[in-house]
Amino acid sequence: MLRIDIISVQPQMFRGFLEESIVARAVKKGACEVNIVDLREFGEGRWRKVDDKPYGGGPGMLMKCGPWFAAVESRLAGDAPDARPARVIMTTPAGRRFDQRVAEELAGEKHIVIMCGHYEGFDARIETLATDRLSVGDFVMTGGELAAAAMADATVRLLPGVLGGGPSATASESFGRNGTLEAPQYTHPPEFRGMRVPEVLLSGDHAKIEAWRNSESARLTRERRPDLVGGRDE
Ligand SMILES: C[S@@+](CC[C@H](N)C(=O)[O-])C[C@H]1O[C@@H](n2cnc3c(N)ncnc32)[C@H](O)[C@@H]1O
């Protein structure tokens, strides 16, 4: 079973995520365990301080080493010495881009720790705790919570038994087996405001439908994401 520990100064941000999302369903089904850890429990002094002014000046506050080392080490402490080492992910706009491949990689792990930064980010020495630095895109958010939620959601839905439809449910999606975008999909009614569902989808001919989906998937990928053309090199 996959265990995900998310460390944050805003643990309350995960309330809806843990109660309502696909992650809640996965936890209920026993496919994973998700723990939200309040960094302030590892804060320093009477005020449980987790941040301080940057050396050399500059705006804002930085997250301190002490609380982060204590928090991450506490999460790793229970892992068996012969177990595969946990993936410790630092959320940062300066990281490798999180994508479906990374989600697939993470879905194969046993233990993931996700570090949510805040304020102006982390003291650079905290990076030594991380096995991965991951970004969700070239923009700056206020904290790592939404990034952690996105990573956990994309990972957990790949775990066996979480989605109905088995492995094919995710293989045919965008960035799935072929690394291309998903073909357009339609549901009832067959015509809406003059827009008709392509005849082939109503034909009941599964081979033709499959061929149409493959060609539409290739066309959409060429049009919208030419950088993905060529598919996955596996
Ligand atoms: C205000 S940001 C710090 C940005 C940092 N000063 C910089 O310029 O790279 C605070 C925290 O939000 C999270 N964060 C912000 N944008 C992110 C992104 N695109 N991907 C992942 N995490 C992000 C990180 O945990 C980061 O430490």
Q: Residue 153 in contact with residue 22, Cβ under 8 Å?
A: yes
**In the chain, pLDDT over 90 holds for what percent of residues?**
91
Q: Residue 92 in contact with residue 64, Cβ under 8 Å?
A: no
146 lines ligand 1 (CB under 6 A): no
3-state secondary structure of 149: helix
Model confidence at 176, pLDDT cuts 50, 70, 90, reads confident
**Which domains are assigned to the chain?**
2-156 (3.40.1280.10), 172-228 (1.10.1270.20)
Instruction: Quick: pLDDT tens for 81-94.
Output: 999 999 999 999 99
111 lines ligand 1 (CB under 6 A): no
Residue 170 pLDDT: 81
Q: Residue 71 in contact with residue 7, Cβ under 8 Å?
A: yes
Residue 198 pLDDT: 98
Instruction: Quick: pLDDT tens for 15-27.
Output: 999 999 899 999 9
Model confidence at 137, pLDDT cuts 50, 70, 90, reads very high
Cβ-Cβ contacts under 8 Å for 91 (sequence gap 6 or more): 114, 115, 116, 117, 134, 135, 136, 144, 147, 148, 151
Residue 177 pLDDT: 77
Looking at residues 143-152, what average pLDDT do you find? Answer: 98
- pTM for the full predicted model: 0.94
Model confidence at 230, pLDDT cuts 50, 70, 90, reads confident
Q: How is residue 197 written in tokens?
A: 């569902």
Instruction: Quick: pLDDT tens for 55-82.
Output: 999 999 999 999 999 999 999 999 999 9
- Indicate whether 126 pLDDT > 90: yes
Closest atom, ligand 1, to C-alpha of 142: 1
Looking at residues 115-121, what average pLDDT do you find? Answer: 98
Model confidence at 232, pLDDT cuts 50, 70, 90, reads low
Residue 231 pLDDT: 66
- For a mutational test of ligand 1's pocket, the pick from 7, 61, 90, 92, i.e. the residue with the most ligand atoms closer than 8 A to its C-beta, is 92
Task: Tell me, in angstroms, the distance from the centre of ligand 1 to residue 202's CA.
Answer: 47
- Indicate whether 234 pLDDT > 60: no
Residue 98 pLDDT: 98
Model confidence at 112, pLDDT cuts 50, 70, 90, reads very high
Task: Tell me, in angstroms, the distance from the centre of ligand 1 to residue 191's CA.
Answer: 45
Q: Residue 71 in contact with residue 39, Cβ under 8 Å?
A: yes
> Which DSSP helix (H) or strand (E) runs through 103?
helix 100-107
Residue 214 pLDDT: 95
Residue 174 pLDDT: 87
